[in-house]
Structure 1
């Protein structure tokens, strides 16, 4: 079977099954992503083996002031994930003129809450400090995440404790993008996530929705209408409602034809017909700063 046919078979399995299987569909998405839209470098933001990030620098000419920036955190129930699995996300955003950083962070069982938030904050702080040297615009840095990564991104954007430890603050962010993130999820039902948050003895202050206030950055929230893993009404709509009540600008998109997993898979070129999530995120990031 040719590589292309194999990729299409795996992609079909992703669309029909809605899961990241052992014969990883992300391998197919990455294999079909062009390589001429970006240059990629890997850098350390800390001393640990998982404290690394990949920088996707667009090959197109930067606009005046530099490219807008996205620092992206992937999902995996805080149990799994590798930044190399998300080349298709870095490429997609870079092709739309967005300087993109895809970061690893430590996972369970090596760490539990809140250590992966400290890693995420250190990665975002690295981006805030180095954006200008990379050709990005330091006034247009966005934090973005999918699923568990959406939780990480939300906590960095809404709860000032984590960036404060790095000498930064959420006010430096131009925006927050959450895709199918869990923002209000106690008590935990996902067995993979239970030990991460010490179920049933949850530490106080773990829920992003509790920090949705008047200082939140402009926000984009997207989810699958039929998400069976993270309830979109309780989490996405609930957080949006809380932010809107605090007077903050929020864009909410609920998508048909995608699942919890294919929502991020739709960033890959073969799956973009499923939902316009890439275009919506790109429009949000590329809008002129206020």
Structure 2
């Protein structure tokens, strides 16, 4: 009964975007160092937090985590629970902020995310990371950002890079195929109804796409898992890209990322799924 109450409160807090103090307060401090606050650009939102695993004796895989919030909300500090969980598994973790609506619209936040990836690839070795094993991971709108950088070469090209520099993409409850836009908060972000199909990650799937892990909640009422993750997986399969889909009935849109927090890990093995994917899928 106690566990159910805690779970309910945390899930409610995650849904209301008010849980960061509670859930981060319950996050263990062991197994990682950080966050280290670093600038990747000149703007007030061009900062990132970097977490390093304890006791790493060789260059570690690097995970760049983009948070969600309908491209309107979010702060990197809110996701210490997720970064700490991943860093304690032996990964260098980078959590960038990026500009949000109404300061910017599509595609400016993608340019910010690409700049954060460029910074990470250039600086990873200074912080114990392996620049040959950089993975993009995101939740909800952050999964969209990560997918666009992983599949659409335009954004990393501005940093003198290509998606081939990315070892893998991990999407949690992401929108990859969401036209027509039906969420009022998202409409002005993408200038709906004048939204081109090339805004959609599914439109950029080619055989050059990196290995992909998609984690979804079957009962997700905000981002339809069939229209988005299942459709993206089908597109990747058709061009021969390695893709793993994990679907969980015990999760919802918010606990898909919340399951990284230690009080909620019993809901689904999301942390194990990510760890297995990163340790299994590596560049030659």
TM-score bracket for the superposition, by shorter chain length: over 0.9
- The TM-score, its normalising length taken from structure 2, stands at 0.95
Are 2:135 and 1:139 aligned? no
Q: Partner residue of 1:272?
A: 265
Does residue 12 of structure 1 match 2:8? yes
Mapped partners of 1:119, 1:249: distance in 2: 28
**Which of these residues, 24, 27, 52, is aligned with residue 21 of structure 2?**
27
Q: Do the aligned residues in 1 keep the contact of 2:212 with 2:243 (CA within 8 Å)? A: yes
The runs of 5 or more residues in structure 2 that have no matched partner are: none
What TM-score, normalized to structure 1? 0.93
Could you say what secondary structure the match of 2:169 adopts?
strand
Counterpart contact for 2:60–2:130, Cα < 8 Å: yes
Aligned equivalents of 1:204, 1:269: Cα separation in 2? 39
Over 3 Å off, 4+ runs:
7-11
Separation in structure 2 between the aligned mates of residue 82 and residue 110 of structure 1, nearest angstrom? 15
Q: Which residue, 185, 194, 197 being the options, matches 2:178? A: 185
Q: CA deviation at 1:217?
A: 0.5
Is residue 57 from structure 1 mapped to residue 52 from structure 2 by the alignment?
yes
Q: Which residue of 2 aligns with 1:74?
A: 67
Check the 8 A contact 1:221/1:251 in 2, yes or no: yes
Moved more, 233-242 or 53-62: 53-62
How far did residue 234 of structure 1 move?
0.8
Change (3 A) 1:46 1:10: farther
Match of 1:262 in 2: 255
Aligned residue pair count: 281
Q: Evaluate the alpha carbon distance shift between residue 8 and residue 232 of structure 1 in structure 2; reply closer, same or farther with a 3 A threshold.
A: closer
- Aligned equivalents of 1:46, 1:220: Cα separation in 2: 29
| Aligned residue in 2 for 1:242 | 235
Corresponding position of 2:112:
119
Distance 2:145 2:57 in 1: 28
Gaps (5+ residues) in structure 1? Answer: none
| SS of aligned partner of 2:136 | strand
Distance in 1, matches of 2:161 and 2:185, equals 31
Report the secondary structure of 1:137's partner residue. Answer: strand
Equivalent position SS for 2:106:
coil
CA RMSD of aligned residues (A): 1.7
**Match of residue 200, structure 2, among 207, 215, 234:** 207
TM-aligned CA deviation for residue 10 of structure 1: 6.2
What residue in structure 2 maps to residue 43 of structure 1? Answer: 38
Displacement of 1:177 in angstroms is 0.5
